[in-house]
Structures are given as C-alpha cells and as structure tokens.
Amino acid sequence: MKNRPYPLPVKKLPRWELSCWINSHGNSPRSRKLPVYRAALLGLLVVLVAGAMAGCAAAPAPAPALTQTPPPPLTDTVAPPLTPTAIVLPSATPTEVPTATPVPTATATPVPPLAVAQDGVTAWCVSFKDPNPLGGTPDAPSYARMAKVVNGVLNLNVSRGSCTFVFTFNQVLPAGAELQVLNASGDKAWTEATLAPVRSNPKQGFATLNHPTLNNLNYWQITYPFALVASDGSVLWKSNVLLYKTFPGLCWEGSTPDPVTLFCPLSDTDFIPHYTPAAPGK
C-alpha cells in the first residue's frame, strides 16, 4: 500500500467525481506502463496456447496397453474311445440313356379284301318277245322282270330271253372275274359269262346269261347255285338262285301242264303222263 502512487478511494464517489479522479491520476508514469505489460502478457499467452494446441495435434493418442491373459491350467483329460462308424458311400445311380423319340411314319391305309358290297347284287330277265331279248347292257329296261328276294333267295322270272346280273364291289372292279352257274352239287359250272365293267361306275360290273337251258327251263321252277369267281379262282360271291316260269294255271282236270309244251289232256282217255328231263349237270 505504501508504494501506490495514488490513494484508493475510500468511499464511493459520484460519477462526475470518479471521472475527474481518473483523469487526474491517469497520466502518471506507472499508469502509462500498464498497457505495455498487458500487451506482453497477452502475447505470451497466445504463444503458450498455440504451442499447446500444436502439441495436442502432433502427439499421437497413447495406444491401449496390451494385457496378456494367462492360459488355463493344463489338465489331464481322457479322450473318449473312438467308435468306428461305417461310411456310407453314395451308390452309383444309373445314367438314363435318352431314348429316341419315334417319328411317326406315313402308313398306307390298308385296303380291305376285294368283296361284293352289301346289297350289291341286282338282276333282271327279259322275254324273247321284248325289244331287246338278248340284253347286254348294265341298265335295266322298263320292261325288265326284276329279281325279288323271297326267304333270302333271289328269284328270277325267265321267259326264253336273257338274264343280266350287276355286281357292286368295295373297290375297283377286278379284271377277269366271271359269273358261273353251277350244277346241283355246286362243284362244276355248266355255263358262265365274263364280268364287263360299267363305264359310269368303276366299282361295278355286269354279266348277261343267255343260255337256252337257263332261260327256257324244262321245269316250272328250279334252283341253281350261282358263283362269282375272280381270275385267281377265289370265290367273291355265291348264292342259290331260284328260276321260274310264269305259270298259266292248272289244267281242266287239276293236273299241271307240260312246262315246255304246255300240254293239257283233252279228256280222261287222252291223259298221258309227260316226261320231265333231268336238270342240267346231272
């Protein structure tokens, strides 16, 4: 306190007195040295702070200390007995060999065996009095006597003219086929006719029979076996055919007139039994 150049105020001075006091004491030599000290201290402080910051940036962070963990104490352990186990090896799987996919091949449509079609037989006869008694065409004329089926048997009314048969097949008409009329036993033909093609239908053929024994019977009716035979001898069709004449009626006494001469007895004394020849082929 002795070295102070100016006494400290004891009492609180008013603002105007304090200002006057500062003005009166501020020009002392010591008061003029204070700013210099303050600047020196401030510079030193700046240097210290800068050095501290540089030291913090340059110095690396201390690495953590390594601590060694002591190993666990060794103890005698008994290993479990080894049990042999069978090792299952994978079985060899058979390799599937690719199979060739069959390629469909074009197969020809099988042709059915040659045969006469169902309901493929048509027949008719003409009389010697008709315009064309010999026939020879596949078309039945208006005056033809058409065949009829009675109890499954073909019936033809003959009258000393000709008879024509038309056959329809399941394929084209075979060459060389012929229509045969067989004997009563059916093992031998006594008349035949070659099958001719029908121009309007390649599956049809016709044959005309004009044998006198066939068209001018020695009987009022008789049944013969008919057969259609191919060129190789195979039978394409076979059936019984009943041939009959137009019956004029019984004689006056009830007898049957002669089938050839149509004779009837004139009286009881004129009655003479007529002779009936055997059928052809016997």
Share of the chain above pLDDT 70, in %: 63
Q: Which residue did the predictor score with more confidence, 251 or 123?
A: 123
Instruction: Write down the pLDDT at residue 11.
Output: 54
Residues 6+ apart with CB under 8 A from 214: 158, 163, 181, 191, 243
Given a cut of 70, whether residue 271 has pLDDT beyond it is no
Distance of CA 118 to the CA centre of its chain: 32
Q: Which residue did the predictor score with more confidence, 105 or 251?
A: 251
Share of the chain above pLDDT 90, in %: 39
Residues 6+ apart with CB under 8 A from 42: none
**Interatomic CA distance for residues 89 and 22, integer angstroms:** 110
Binning pLDDT at 50, 70 and 90, where does residue 1 land? very low
Mean pLDDT of 91-114: 74
Instruction: Write down the pLDDT at residue 73.
Output: 65
Which residues are registered as beta bridge partners of 208? 164
**C-alpha separations of 221 from 77, 81, 180, 245, 246 in Å:** 128, 117, 19, 6, 9
Instruction: Write down the pLDDT at residue 242.
Output: 96
Q: Lowest mean pLDDT of 57-61, 108-112, 122-126, name the range.
A: 57-61
Please say whether the beta carbons of 116 and 205 come within 8 A.
no
Mean pLDDT, rounded, of the chain: 78
**Interatomic CA distance for residues 165 and 160, integer angstroms:** 16
Please say whether the beta carbons of 178 and 195 come within 8 A.
yes
Phi, psi of 35 (to 5 degrees): -60, -30
Q: Which residue did the predictor score with more confidence, 148 or 13?
A: 148
Q: Lowest mean pLDDT of 141-145, 255-259, 278-282, name the range.
A: 278-282
Mean pLDDT of 2-13: 52
Residues 6+ apart with CB under 8 A from 275: none
Strand segments, DSSP code E, in the chain are 116-126, 145-146, 148-150, 153-157, 162-169, 178-182, 189-194, 196-198, 201-209, 221-229, 235-244
Write the burial class of residue 107 (CB in 10 Å: 0-12 exposed, 13-18 middle, 19+ buried): exposed
Q: Which residue did the predictor score with more confidence, 23 or 148?
A: 148
Given a cut of 90, whether residue 277 has pLDDT beyond it is no
Q: In this structure, which topology does domain 117-244 adopt according to CATH?
A: Immunoglobulin-like (2.60.40)
Mean pLDDT of 32-61: 63
Instruction: Write down the pLDDT at residue 146.
Output: 96
Instruction: Write down the pLDDT at residue 46.
Output: 73
Given a cut of 90, whether residue 145 has pLDDT beyond it is yes
Considering 71-85, 121-135, 257-271, the range whose residues carry the highest mean pLDDT is 121-135
Which residues are registered as beta bridge partners of 221? 244
Given a cut of 90, whether residue 205 has pLDDT beyond it is yes
Tokens 């057969």 belong to residue: 227
Given a cut of 90, whether residue 186 has pLDDT beyond it is no
Given a cut of 50, whether residue 236 has pLDDT beyond it is yes
Instruction: Write down the pLDDT at residue 42.
Output: 77
Segments making up each domain of the chain, as ranges: 15-48, 117-244
Mean pLDDT of 122-148: 93
Give the DSSP letter string of 183-212: -TTSSSEEEEEEPEEETTEEEEEEEEE--H
Instruction: Write down the pLDDT at residue 76.
Output: 60
Instruction: Write down the pLDDT at residue 248.
Output: 86
Instruction: Write down the pLDDT at residue 260.
Output: 86
